């Protein structure tokens, strides 16, 4: 008996064929659809902070969503991802000061499904670094107990020459070539003409450049670099302010174990637009004896500035007015130093020192080298009647050297030839010592690295004891 297979109804065959064709078409269309989706264009960053980047791109027509990925590697290894239906996204949870690579692609299901386009071009963006601190470690803030005993205060002033004047033509004058020498002299190292001494309690700095761009280390500028070098051997120096805009390069460094900072600030002594003429000031208390005093660092306009003689005289007038104002000084003893850009003996039209040195004495804040009863602008001055209790050291040599190896020193060892850089103190304070710091051979040539185009000047004054 022959069995004949039953015939499949034509309608069933037709339906099956339709289903097969439909599946085949769907299988063919899906990849084709994905291939036709273009990668998002014009990926760009619209904002960034320390921990996030916001990106956006041109929308893709009928895109169901987008996938964003980012990594710290160009290969996108270990990439993180997020999904969005918008044509912008905020990427959060990032690290500061870090370079990120970002891409975006069209993806199904609002960005959660499969990718429907190639990845966009890479966007490279670095998150900003954290803001640099404006205040360092100032030490114990607790007020000191007054003891009634007098205290010696060691003071220095030094124009350290701005790093912006570094030149490939003079590698020996670059800051990195001079910095250790500057720090070593400030810390009291011995020279051929100066005995070793204890480091200063407070330093008036000029031209301590505030640009972070000159150093690879984060939040480091010329002043901070010097501070770090002073502290490398265990010191505790800090600036009254780390804010670059506070007083440009006119700064104050102090030993936080010896002094407690109460208040600080800065005054522009000349019209806005000039960068040099600032008075950086601070009120300190001596931790050992409780004495309070006003301290200042000054930099008057240099000769190369337009109309400098007129401006410099006006600056010095304003400085004297400020030092006479108890609202600023609180009636405390005053000590200050700086680069006044005017020699004791007038040089042509530059008569600012000739005029104002006697006026400083009259205002109660005289030169620490010259006794109050002397004419501090007298070109015939000698150290015979000088203010310090001990004989001044190197007073017959100029404080400005211009990077010349041969120093300008008067033949008469008793002459007073100091110019441009001065240290002042209230007339009633005892000045124990005064020194211009030089390291010279017998022919008056600098030995080794010349630290700056100015020479370091330092003094020791005695603050009288106070009772609580």
Per-residue pLDDT reduced to its tens digit, 121-153: 999 999 998 899 999 999 999 999 999 999 999
Strands 202-206 and 151-159: parallel
Per-residue pLDDT reduced to its tens digit, 52-62: 999 999 999 99
Q: DSSP letter at 212?
A: G
Q: Computed from CA positions of residues 241, 286, 366, 226, in that sequence, does the dihedral angle turn out positive or negative?
A: negative
> What percentage of the chain exceeds 90 in pLDDT?
81
- Lowest-confidence segment of 109-113, 360-364, 379-383 by average pLDDT: 379-383
pLDDT average, residue stretch 435-454: 97
pLDDT for position 444: 97
User: Looking at the predicted structure, is the pLDDT value of residue 217 above 70?
Assistant: yes
10 or 155, higher pLDDT:
155
User: Looking at the predicted structure, is the pLDDT value of residue 433 above 90?
Assistant: yes
pLDDT for position 304: 83
Task: Note the Cα 419 to chain centre separation in Å.
Answer: 28
pLDDT for position 380: 87
Per-residue pLDDT reduced to its tens digit, 314-356: 999 999 999 999 999 999 999 999 999 999 988 889 999 999 9
pLDDT for position 152: 98
pLDDT for position 216: 87
440 CB-side CA count, 13 A: 19
H or E, element range at 52: strand 52-56
pLDDT for position 18: 41
- Lowest-confidence segment of 14-28, 63-77, 95-109, 240-254 by average pLDDT: 14-28
pLDDT for position 273: 66
Q: DSSP letter at 155?
A: E
Structure tokens at 238: 């800090």
- Lowest-confidence segment of 6-10, 84-88, 219-223 by average pLDDT: 6-10
284 or 248, higher pLDDT:
284
From the list 336, 320, 237, the residue with the least C-alpha distance to 282 is: 336
Residue 207 CA to residue 159 CA, distance in Å, equals: 6
pLDDT average, residue stretch 206-234: 95
pLDDT for position 278: 86
pLDDT for position 169: 94
CB-based contact 337:155 (threshold 8 Å): yes
pLDDT confidence bin for 256, thresholds 50/70/90: very high
CA dihedral 67, 73, 77, 78 (to 10 degrees): -70
pLDDT confidence bin for 379, thresholds 50/70/90: confident
Set out the domains of the chain in order of their start, with CATH numbers.
44-126 (2.60.40.10), 151-463 (3.60.10.10)
pLDDT for position 218: 86
Q: Which residues, 6+ apart, have CB-to-CB distance to 344 below 8 Å?
A: 353, 354, 357, 376, 377, 379, 381, 416, 417, 418, 419
pLDDT average, residue stretch 428-433: 98
Residue 409 CA to residue 422 CA, distance in Å, equals: 17
Residue 165 CA to residue 64 CA, distance in Å, equals: 58
pLDDT for position 383: 93
Q: Computed from CA positions of residues 241, 245, 247, 249, in that sequence, does the dihedral angle turn out positive or negative?
A: positive
- To the nearest 10 degrees (0 to 180), the angle between helices 352-362 and 308-323 is 10
pLDDT for position 2: 45
User: Looking at the predicted structure, is the pLDDT value of residue 111 above 50?
Assistant: yes
**Helix and strand numbers, DSSP H then E, in the chain:** 6, 19
User: Looking at the predicted structure, is the pLDDT value of residue 15 above 70?
Assistant: no
pLDDT average, residue stretch 294-316: 92
pLDDT for position 289: 93
pLDDT for position 274: 64
Structure tokens at 44: 């760009």
pLDDT average, residue stretch 416-420: 86
The owner of tokens 């429907």 is 116
pLDDT for position 74: 97
User: Looking at the predicted structure, is the pLDDT value of residue 254 above 90?
Assistant: yes
User: Looking at the predicted structure, is the pLDDT value of residue 419 above 90?
Assistant: no
Mean pLDDT, the chain, integer: 91
Burial class (CB in 10 A: 0-12, 13-18, 19+), 249: buried
271 or 449, higher pLDDT:
449
From the list 126, 127, 142, 108, the residue with the least C-alpha distance to 290 is: 142
Strand extents, DSSP E, 270-420: 278-286, 292-299, 334-339, 365-367
């Amino acid at each position: 008996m022959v069995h004949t297979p039953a015939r499949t109804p034509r309608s069933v065959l037709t339906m099956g064929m339709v289903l097969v064709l439909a599946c085949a078409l769907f299988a063919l269309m899906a990849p084709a659809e994905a291939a036709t989706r273009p990668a998002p264009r014009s990926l760009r960053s619209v904002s960034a902070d320390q921990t996030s980047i916001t990106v956006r791109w041109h929308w893709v027509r009928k895109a169901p969503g987008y996938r964003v990925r980012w990594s710290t590697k160009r290969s996108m290894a270990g990439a993180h991802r997020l999904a969005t239906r918008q044509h912008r996204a905020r990427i959060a949870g990032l690290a500061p000061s870090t370079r990120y690579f970002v891409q975006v692609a069209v993806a199904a299901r609002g960005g959660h499904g499969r990718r429907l386009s190639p990845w966009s071009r890479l966007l490279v963006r670095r998150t900003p670094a954290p803001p640099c601190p404006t205040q360092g470690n100032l030490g114990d803030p607790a007020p000191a107990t007054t003891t009634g005993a007098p205290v010696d205060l060691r003071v220095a002033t030094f124009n350290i020459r701005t790093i912006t004047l570094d030149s490939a033509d003079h590698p020996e004058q670059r800051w990195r070539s001079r910095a250790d020498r500057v720090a070593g002299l400030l810390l009291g190292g011995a020279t051929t003409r100066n005995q070793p001494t204890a480091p200063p309690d407070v330093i008036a700095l000029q031209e301590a450049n505030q640009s972070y761009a000159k150093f690879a280390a984060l939040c480091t500028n010329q002043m901070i670099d010097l501070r770090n070098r002073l502290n490398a051997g265990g010191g505790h120096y800090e600036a009254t302010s780390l804010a670059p805009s506070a007083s440009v390069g006119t700064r104050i460094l102090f030993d936080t174990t010896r002094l407690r900072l109460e208040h600080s600030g800065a005054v522009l002594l000349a019209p806005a637009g000039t960068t040099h003429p600032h008075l950086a000031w601070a009120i300190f208390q001596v931790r050992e004896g409780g004495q309070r005093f006003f301290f200042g660092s000054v930099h008057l306009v240099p000769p190369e500035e337009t109309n400098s003689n007129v401006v410099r005289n006006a600056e010095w007038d304003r400085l004297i007015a400020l030092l006479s104002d108890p609202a600023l000084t609180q009636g405390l003893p005053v000590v200050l130093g700086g680069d006044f850009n005017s020699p004791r003996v007038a040089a042509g039209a530059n008569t600012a020192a000739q005029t104002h040195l006697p006026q400083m004495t009259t205002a109660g804040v005289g030169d620490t080298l010259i006794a109050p009863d002397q004419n501090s602008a007298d070109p015939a001055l000698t150290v015979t009647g000088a203010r310090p209790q001990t004989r001044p050291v190197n007073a017959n040599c100029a404080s400005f050297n211009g990077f010349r190896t041969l120093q300008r020193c008067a033949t008469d060892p008793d002459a007073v030839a100091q110019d441009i850089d001065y240290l002042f103190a209230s007339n009633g304070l005892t000045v124990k010592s005064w020194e211009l710091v030089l390291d010279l051979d017998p022919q008056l040539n600098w030995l080794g690295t010349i630290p700056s185009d100015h020479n370091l000047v330092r003094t020791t004054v005695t603050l009288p004891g106070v009772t609580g």
